[in-house]
Amino acid sequence: MRKITAGMFMSLDGVIADPQDWHFPYFNEEMGEGVSVLAAEADTMLFGRVTYDGFAGAWPEREAAGGEDAGFAKALGDMRKVVFSHGTVDLSWRNSEQPQGDLVEVVTALKAEAGGEITLSGSTSIVQQLLAAALIDELHLFVHPIVLRNGAMRLFDEGTPIPLQLLSATTFKTGVLHLVYGPAEAPTPVGYDEAKTHIS
């Protein structure tokens, strides 16, 4: 069974919208290493249409330019890229495909195939659906020490609770928390009468 990892940049108040406007002042070597881990063992990347269009509009040009990030751009280009959208997508970036059918069913089949890890970066709707289906093995949250106080897009919206277990927690020098969560069983229901026994 293939491992699925997902990474999200998040403000302290849960906003994930437009990270290009607030994320980069916190990008240091620790962040670079943390982000690189997501794709280190992956040979397949999942996208929603908006995230795919953003990546496809930037990384092929960076690969062609041959700058400092050309190697990373080539690695992204060489990956299998699976794009989920209800509409037609311009799949001009090499190794891109658009499957048909239910997202959860398609990803479940991909997870059962032979191959390397599967990764996501952004693509909020895809992450939300895969979290709800317990298909994400590692959710990497990079929580930034900034309260944006605006932005409607948050990773965790209304719906059925999703139990998670903390796998690791790392504090970067910038104050960013790199939190890694995995799926967990729902906790046993406990009320105040049980909880108060732990109060000294």
The rounded mean pLDDT for the chain is: 92
Nearest 5°: the CA angle 128, 115, 81 is 50
30-66 pLDDT, tens digit per residue, is 999 999 888 888 999 999 999 999 999 999 999 999 9
pLDDT at res. 59: 92
Q: What is the CATH number of the domain that holds 66?
A: 3.40.430.10
CB atoms under 10 Å from CB of 165, counted, come to 10
The model's pTM is 0.90
Q: Any bridge partners for residue 169, and if so which? A: 179
Domain count within the chain: 1
Domain holding 17, by residue range, is 4-198
For residue 123, the model assigns a pLDDT of: 87
Cα 119 from Cα 125, distance rounded (Å): 14
Question: How sure is the predictor about 102, in pLDDT bands with cuts at 50, 70 and 90?
Answer: very high
pLDDT for 194 = 84
